Structure 1
Amino acid sequence: MPTDFSPQIAPGASERMAVIDLAAVRANVARIRQLVGERTLIAVVKADAYGHGAVEVSRAALTAGADMLGVVHVREALALRRAGIDAPLLAWLHTLNTDFSAALAADIELGASGRWDLEAIADAAASAGVTARVHLKVDTGLGRNGSTEEDWPALLARARALEEGGTIKVVGIFSHLAVADEPERAENREQMKRFAADVAAARQAGLTPSLIHLANTPATLTAADAVSPEDLLCSGVRVGLGLYGLSPLADETSADLGLEPVMTVQTFIANVKEVRAGQGVSYGLNYVCERPTTLALVPMGYADGVPRVATGGPVRVYPAGGEPVTARVVGRIAMDQMVLDLGEPGLSDPARGFLGARAVLFGNGENPPVEDWAEAAGTINYEIVTRISQRVERVYIGA
């Protein structure tokens, strides 16, 4: 009688998938809404919604009560418009090649960090015969994008002149915090103080912005404990990581913060084999089995977005008819595959159910948290979810 090697999934099902729970997105938006009240909630869906799928996440977030969407590049914003999303939408990082005319035609609000982009936006608006809705960005301490404090008065004066000419309307003022994930640091208070002064200067210059936004996810989640929550939350917040149910804080988990992880990355064990003591594993043979054991092959690697350096990352394996086990990646992670040492011999027996078993790298519930993979790779949870490649099919549930 032939041995049955049938996997746990039907032919044609996704071999590698990132399961995106849109119900969790909605729950996270509801949780954030509890924290910010009636303030404007800008759902940040840049970088394809941190790898989760910008169109699907945007729809879920808006359904759950987000007021506006935020992206970095105009091209990202235009893709959302082409998908039929007509919600208020802000794009804030530009180059000399940014198509401001297309942005204005699609009713996209635009960030401006200095004279060059403000003038380019105004020129595009004048050519199109429209008024551009602009958010001025000031650098209060992060040292990246945004007007310097020294240039801020001149930028405000020029913005006011362009308003009088009808080419722009300053509807927002914003900045970005450098160490909000360490809320106890004094730099947060210093940035808040600078930002309040910068907003006051904008009003004194004759501008009337209605949306003032400074807080990102960590600031939003910790604002209640801040010395001045109102000055941190302002009239709106920009929330990215929190939408996806992940914690930006070193000492608090998603569950601690009332958030639900949205992405579960999984595949199916492609090979199981018995090896003797002394067997090396993967390129360089940096791992050698100390005793007879069973190795399981996970058909994902760095081409799928799994960091090559993340040896030791955990995988939860669900054998058919057996108890799930968590095993660690051993040896180097390759382009397309990685290896688990299951810790004991005899598990290649088809009756044990490991061949074809579901293998979860990270996800919700009893699955490993994405932070375990971030730790193995020496990085942050933001990077792990964002880098999962398009070779891994996105499968949406909870729509």
Structure 2
Amino acid sequence: MLAWLAVPGAPFRRAIDENIDLAVHTIDQLHEIASAAVDSGQRAQIHLKVDTGMGRGGAATHDWPGLVEQARAHELDELVRVAGIWSHLATADEPGEPSIGRQLMVFDEALEVAARGGVRPDVRHIANSAATLYLPESHYDMVRPGIAVYGVDPRPTALRSPTVALRPAMTLEARLAQVKRVPAGTPVTYGQTYATPDATSRGG
């Protein structure tokens, strides 16, 4: 099990005690996990995350060499073990999107930096559901299907492969609390980004 999001002060020692792998995005987080490993008395299993272009989590490429260096130092001190290196694809559900290739290239470069720094993980992973289904070149050592586990193809219907046959694992149903008639041009919900194109009934 990999816990990939955590805030400062998270229960890292408990995670280590229970053999949960921890994602590491920053040097500060790495030091906090190493300190928790001292308290635990056993090594933390960590997965270093590099931001290859999604811009959400992970070390920026200019911070990556420093994170690798510190992770290796903590490995030598027997406080952590780098079990994985990973990232996340932003547009794997869009066939031919140029950012896919760019992200894979940045990921490969990050892996080379890690190898030069003496960090050799057990697994390298970047593939989400869309990449698992449609981008075999992104599979590396493991994949991380998310929405596909629930039987949902992440691609728009028109772009789905007929060879991918997923079966939805659940349905969600709810009762309507209110139905009312509104005129054309009525904005609906937060931000008012949608307005009814004509007079209609709307449920909520």
1:220–1:237: 8 Å Cα contact kept in structure 2? Answer: yes
- Report how far residue 178 of structure 1 moved: 1.2
Equivalent in the alignment of 1:155:
67
Shift of 1:256: 5.5
Map of 2:203 onto structure 1: 333
TM-score by length of 1: 0.45
Q: Give how far 1:184 is off.
A: 0.3
1:210-359 matches, cutoff 5 A? 210-224=122-136, 229=137, 232-250=138-156, 251-253=158-160, 257-266=164-173, 282-283=179-180, 285-286=181-182, 331-334=201-204
Name 1:190's counterpart in structure 2: 102
Q: What residue identity is the alignment partner of 1:203?
A: A
Tell me the CA shift for residue 137 of structure 1.
0.1
- Whole-angstrom CA distance in 1 between matches of 2:175 and 2:69: 60
Determine if the alignment matches structure 1 residue 144 to structure 2 residue 56.
Answer: yes
1:148-186, Cα deviation, whole Å (9 max, x unpaired): 110111111100000011110001000011111113011
Structure 1: tracts of 5 or more residues without a match? 1-88, 270-280, 288-308, 312-329, 335-399
The CA distance in 2 between the partners of 1:114 and 1:266, in whole Å, is 41
Flag the structure with more relative contact order, 1 or 2, with Cα contacts below 8 A and sequence separation at least 6: 1
Q: Rg larger in 1 or in 2?
A: 1
Alignment of 1:37-76 (within 5 A): none
> Would the aligned equivalents of 1:213 and 1:238 in 2 still touch at CA under 8 Å?
yes
Structure 1 segments of 4+ aligned residues over 6 angstroms from their partners: none
CA–CA separation in structure 2 for the residues paired with 1:176 and 1:94: 17
Residues 254 and 260, structure 1, Cα contact 8 Å, conserved in 2 = no
Deviation per residue, 1:161-214 (Å, 9 max, x gap) = 000111100010000111111130111111101101111111111112011001
Aligned partners of 1:267, 1:160: CA distance in 2, in Å? 51
CA-atom RMSD, angstroms?
Answer: 2.5
CA distance in 1, matches of 2:19, 2:52: 28
Cα distance, 1:144 vs. partner?
1.1
Structure 1 contact 246–254 (Cα < 8 Å) conserved? no
Higher share in strand: 1
Identity of aligned residues (%): 36
Output the CA distance in 1 between the equivalents of 2:16 and 2:124. Answer: 21
Instruction: State the shift of 1:282 in Å.
Output: 3.1
Q: Size of the alignment, in residue pairs? A: 191
Q: Which residue of 2 aligns with 1:43?
A: none
